[in-house]
Structure 1
Amino acid sequence: MNPIFFVTNIRPISYNNTKNKKIYQEKLTKDFNEFAGLYSNIPLTLPLYSKVIYIHKNQHTLLDVDNLSKPFVDAFPNVIYSDDNLINHRICSKITKETFSLLEFEMSNYPDKIAEKLDEYLSNGSEHILYFEVGEFKNEMVKFGGE
């Protein structure tokens, strides 16, 4: 199964921000609709992993990664996956745009539309970029020993 990819420039909110959570999640699903046609196999129904990467302009952000990923993952039941309890492995990172520009990453497995949107956000000075990836969970993904 090929992973599902999504990128948006919506500013993330904390899980603790209950007041704006529903509006935030509606914005995310609306943005995802631009890419939903790329994926004929959604909603997914098998054990999954998810990866959320928050790329931001400022050197410091007070948003904790655990509070960052939860409202994002909670936005996509019955959209990307049938139920968010299918996610058995979750990775979440936050990095500055400056750090991101130093990283090497492979984009050949991204749909062109995703790669173009990510490039657009990086080029146009977006203050906030959220990258989301969901794919089939494999037991080998669970690592012990510092890696």
Structure 2
Amino acid sequence: MAKSQQTFNKLEKEKKRLKKREDKRKKMEARKAAKEENGTDGIQFAYVDFNGNLVDTPPDPEDKIKVKADNIILGVPKKEDLPEVDPIRKGKVSFYDSSKGFGFIIDTEDQEKYFCHVSGLIDEITENDKVQFELEKGMKGLNAVRVKKV
């Protein structure tokens, strides 16, 4: 007696595939019937409102903003267009360990803490000294360099 070549799993997969096909056909027929009943194809045009949402009503022409093509700038602004920023900042030494040769300075403008190493000092500093410094990018963030007492 020979075994059947079709296993139970294959039969189940085939049934699922046929059921899926039949469901798809029924949905398509239901959409066609609804279209014939309502007489519309759905939304003919879709508009985008000022929030970026799709709507079926056209926008109000009075809300339109006119932009001249000459005012549109493509690309990155040139360096001379950027405002000059004073590189020298002022701050207060919050912690400094002279034996280890490092400390931290708190900027008076934005209250950020910056690392300071003994190699970036011009004058000797101690805790609670008012200093002026410049920032440089270090390995782990911005570092205070060229630190002077004020």
TM-score range, shorter chain: under 0.3
Higher RCO structure, 1 or 2 (CA under 8 Å, sep 6+): 1
TM-score norm. by structure 2 comes to: 0.19
Greater helix fraction, Structure 1 or Structure 2? 1
Normalising by structure 1, what TM-score?
Answer: 0.19
In terms of Rg, which structure is larger? Answer: 2
More strand by share: 2
